[in-house]
Structure 1
């Protein structure tokens, strides 16, 4: 049976479109309140003063120095529930991929019982989320369009993957990603580039995924190998199309292994993908060569030797986290992936990093 996946209901794109947020939310306001989850990097900055919070609304500046953890989601949900009786009219995430993932997770856990850790997996959410809006201030992760909210739990790093995760509304304003530090701009963009390479070479590929993935890849090449005056606009659309490319497909070897790095070492997703991808010539030779050309053009130095002091137990944990992501491996290597990629081969790749 073909999967009838959910897409974002409403999208607004354009420079200055953030100014429409108040009007967009006004149509959704009832008798409750709105929750704004804003990356704390904007605390005291101009953007925080533009958030259209009304009297009674709750604005929380979230910290994403570390990637989102299930226990952080649970604490945010408790804070929202303690703010007022009843559910909010909406949850709005303003920030990079981690902030958007927090917004998606909080909106889900306001309506579903238990801990966010209970829902790490595929299609475990049963009750729709409250209305939720995503406004990216970084581009590349595809978090604004994906059905996943990536979380680190007590025993694994794994997303809450559900049609209910998808945002009801996204606001894509390229002005919001201007001035992002070069390294951060590069690493988040590489998340998009790498998952397009993985999708386009995966066994799950179909015409739907291919159409979005090829366009996203083209836009990434324009941003990171060429010089365009509207590169922020192009990168924002690459992120959107890249996220759509895996809606009917999946990522692969690099993402599976970066999850292991993140779980044990706390390496952020975009950096982790970039570190891993540089060692995957055997799987994605053309993509890795092009990635290295991007590194050279943008003058980025990848972190090296990050696993040299790990114990065998830590390497085993890292390997087990990666090995447990079966859909990613199957997309990359086919149904017999465990024969092609036994745990020892994964561990050996980690040792090289």
Structure 2
């Protein structure tokens, strides 16, 4: 049997105000004064002096502000890479992604495409990247996606929504500063936190489960329950715990896989542009037959925090559009096999998926 030999994030710093150490951390990685650091930052922080003032640009370093209103696209990565190549004298010393899952995925993808030829869409899949990425740093400002720890960068391409899954994808350095999550809007906090919770449920109930993924998944699951169901933690403790839940949830799926909710939400994202966290919630709300206990707990969390899960987003879709949803979803074969086993195609039929999508 061939066991997966997965890379880990080699360096991680955790703690409130650890973001202030960013400059000291990256300084030794500067190749020369003509090789800049490129900061990809969520544009919600454009006028946030509390955060931006702690970034010290030197030489030709640049900040590129990017909207996270849409899911990251392969074409967006290509445009960023071209822009960076045209505007820098030498290959950058590194890429620093600051934001949620969208910005972290873009940072990982850009760092890969600066050293690999062709278009980003050519690398959507498993182990297609040939050359190591340039040095890249992840600084999450919201907790839940696990993008800070995973070996994938999820992108919507012209034909599919699929990650660049490779040993060169994980960050070289991650800075986990819970204080950076303090201004997250409540709905976004919940949807992204549920991405982590759903990672746990899909990993812990999957056929790929093993002691490695189980140990991380169980810890993340317990932390999610503390954050979203209990009332005995301070705001700071909640921020710390959710950041750790995100990390552990990402580690859990690194050595197993996600399942039905992610497979089906990829379809929603590709066709309708539904944001990943919301998409997972919309789908998971209807998956009692696959994850009965997980969905029951999820609905308790939704009720406790007075969250409105969008309804009826598939109501007016045509048969052709349903076919696209189903095709994208069923193309994610490892997810379905983890969820349902080797004979998953007898359960996850196009007819079955159409019935589920029509409920959403």
Is this a same-fold pair by TM over 0.5?
yes
Q: Quick check: 1:346 aligned with 2:350?
A: no
Q: How many corresponding residue pairs?
A: 353
Q: 1:130 aligns with which of 112, 134, 140?
A: 134
SS in 2 for 1:59: strand
Give yes or no for contact 1:58–1:83 (8 Å, CA) kept in 2. Answer: no
Q: 1:327 aligns with which of 334, 337, 343?
A: 334
Give the whole-Å Cα distance in 1 for the aligned partners of 2:146 and 2:124. 19
Give the whole-Å Cα distance in 1 for the aligned partners of 2:311 and 2:37. 43
Tell me the residue number matched to 2:192. 188
Give the whole-Å Cα distance in 2 for the aligned partners of 1:52 and 1:114. 33
Tell me the residue number matched to 1:22. 23
Tell me the residue number matched to 1:246. 253
SS in 1 for 2:168: helix
Give the whole-Å Cα distance in 1 for the aligned partners of 2:65 and 2:246. 24
Tell me the residue number matched to 1:158. 162
Tell me the residue number matched to 1:74. 78
Q: Name whichever of 52-61 and 274-283 sits farther off.
A: 52-61
Q: Quick check: 1:34 aligned with 2:37?
A: yes
Runs of 4+ in 1 over 2 A off after TM superposition: none
Cα displacement (A) at 1:49:
2.4
Q: 1:300 aligns with which of 280, 288, 307?
A: 307
Listed one character per residue, the Cα deviations across residues 328-349 of structure 1 (whole Å, up to 9, x for unaligned) are 0000000100001111101111
Give me the TM-score of the superposition, normalised by structure 2. Answer: 0.97
Q: Quick check: 1:219 aligned with 2:213?
A: no
Q: Quick check: 1:105 aligned with 2:106?
A: no
Give me the TM-score of the superposition, normalised by structure 1. Answer: 0.99
Gaps of at least 5 residues in structure 1 are none
Give the whole-Å Cα distance in 1 for the aligned partners of 2:14 and 2:56. 18
Tell me the residue number matched to 1:87. 91
Gaps of at least 5 residues in structure 2 are none
Q: Name whichever of 145-154 and 80-89 sits farther off.
A: 80-89
Tell me the residue number matched to 1:178. 182
Listed one character per residue, the Cα deviations across residues 17-69 of structure 1 (whole Å, up to 9, x for unaligned) are 00000000111112111010000111121212222221311210011211000
1:191-270 maps to which residues of 2 (within 5 A)? 191-227=195-231, 228-229=233-234, 230-270=237-277
Cα displacement (A) at 1:3:
1.1
Give the whole-Å Cα distance in 2 for the aligned partners of 1:233 and 1:331. 30
Q: 2:150 aligns with which of 146, 153, 168?
A: 146
SS in 1 for 2:254: coil
Give the whole-Å Cα distance in 1 for the aligned partners of 2:56 and 2:265. 36
Give the whole-Å Cα distance in 1 for the aligned partners of 2:150 and 2:172. 11
